[in-house]
Amino acid sequence: MRLPDTNLSLAEMIKRALSREASRPAIEFERRWHSWGDLRRQADQITGLLRNSGIDDDAPVAFIPRNRPSSVAALFALLATGRTVQMIYAFQSTEAIAREIARLQPAAAIVDAANLDIHIAETLIREGIAGIVLTDDAAHTVEGAEKATGQAAARKGPVEPLIQILTSGTTGPPKQFPIRHQMIAESLIGNAAFHEQAQAAAAAMPPYLLYFPLGNISGVYSTIPTLIRGQKTTLLDRFSISEWHAYVLRHRPAHSGIPPSTMQALLDANIPAADLASIKAMGVGAAPLSPLLQQAFEDRYGIPILLSYGATEFGGPVCAWSPELHAEWGRTKLGSVGLPILGAQLRIVDPDSGELLGPDQEGRLEVISPRIGPEWIRTADIGRIDKDGFLFLHGRADGAIMRGGFKILPETIERALLLHDHVSAAAVVDVPDPRVGQVPAAAVVLKASAGDVNAATLESHLRNILPATHIPVYWNFYDTLPCNASMKIDRPTIRMNFSDITAMK
């Protein structure tokens, strides 16, 4: 197959993928295979519904995906027609989803049937936004929102189509970060992926496991390139050690990975080494991993863990380990997330002065990611770069709680708690958790008029405002919050007061 002289657009790549033989398997979900014909049929149906909804060809579409084949088909339909996609997380209350739709002001919205309820439907109708609902094998219009009306019908997208990917919520509720369609096509896929030999090699590989939420950068970056290249996939609605174990036994992949927050659970599962014998390397990213856990896994199974580091704001990973690096440096650099990749540049600066720091000096990390541009991006990560160029991370400058792959600012939860009529003061701290690293814990002072307000009441209040990742796991109630000598909230004392509660878990 002769490759084109110019770079293919992402839309053209998607169209080529959807034109594959209809019976060819594409996605395994809940032990059932969905073919390329299934994906094409549902993508064509969604394209037709959008075309008949009265919106322009370039109008932005809000998308609330779940990890299901129907959402993959919907994403492919949007990308094949060059639309701007505005991602919204599905794992939050329907009231919060409805508010996000209203805030983003799209021309249309696509939502899974499991999420559609009166709050979302009424928002679509009130705002004049066309609605499409996904079921397992079909798509339908939302009753009363079959066509866009008013301002929604006239909305235009940007000149160059974008996927507005959700951030992990470091500076508040997750926000949309724009990723160009063409950046994905050129940086993550490339024309060479359509060479006959490359397509044949991808088709012969074991299925790739997809478990990151489709609405975030890891989900988008693992799903789109894998399927476009022609590799089969196994899709999990939610990650679990038992499902991962079953996938490994069923397909015997040479490379796999798990979320860092599940590494302890994997060790606790005591899976026989023979069950993982096919795996030559484990990729781990999206959140910190304890060096002790890494060492324990490698000692037990003899499989190297290849850490990586990236962020939505970088357009993906900027630092990683390779098998060759691990073979040479593995144990001597335990705890490092590797060396810069793909032309990225890293430096450490003094948090206050911005002065460039030398090897092994701890400070704030700054990054140049060629995918995004030539400017230095200042992060909230504290770290150091050793004399050999390896990056070590040592926490956050903004006090963010690292809950699995999500970064949560305590202030975001505190502000939401203070919106409750019966809360007079609140402080949120991080508490260690063996499964996800850290979880939020809330210390609350109630007003005298609070009556029977309790943790369940406040949790319900927060679920209407914040994503599920922000909901505190532990609660303490005070007459007044502890303060230090400077009359500032004494967070170390609050954190220590949760130790008895967490010790009982």
Q: Which amino acid is at 79?
A: L
Per-residue pLDDT at 166: 67
Per-residue pLDDT at 168: 53
Q: CB 77: neighbour CB atoms within 10 A?
A: 27
Per-residue pLDDT at 171: 35
Contact criterion met (CB below 8 Å) for 441 and 498: yes
Contact criterion met (CB below 8 Å) for 405 and 217: no
Q: How far apart (Å, rounded) are the C-alpha atoms in residues 15 and 8?
A: 11
What is the pLDDT tens value at each position of the chain, 505 positions in all? 455 556 899 999 999 999 999 999 999 999 999 999 999 999 999 999 999 999 999 999 999 999 999 999 999 999 999 999 999 989 888 998 999 999 999 999 999 999 999 999 999 999 999 999 999 989 999 999 999 999 999 999 999 999 998 665 433 455 678 899 999 998 889 999 999 999 999 999 999 999 988 988 888 989 999 999 999 999 999 888 999 999 999 999 999 998 877 787 898 899 999 999 999 999 987 667 778 889 999 999 999 999 999 887 888 889 999 999 999 998 899 989 999 998 999 999 998 889 999 999 999 999 999 988 899 999 988 899 999 999 998 877 777 888 877 878 888 898 899 889 898 888 999 998 877 888 999 999 888 887 889 999 999 999 998 888 899 999 999 988 887 654 567 888 898 888 866 554 5
93's tokens? 């209350």
Q: CB 289: neighbour CB atoms within 10 A?
A: 22
Q: Which amino acid is at 442?
A: A
Per-residue pLDDT at 415: 85
Q: How far apart (Å, rounded) are the C-alpha atoms in residues 349 and 175?
A: 26
Per-residue pLDDT at 169: 44
Question: pTM (2 decimals)?
Answer: 0.79
CB-side neighbour CA atoms (13 Å) of 419? 14
Q: How far apart (Å, rounded) are the C-alpha atoms in residues 347 and 357?
A: 8
Q: How far apart (Å, rounded) are the C-alpha atoms in residues 249 and 213?
A: 23
Question: Which residues lie across from 407 on neighbouring strands?
Answer: 402
Residues present in the chain in total: 505
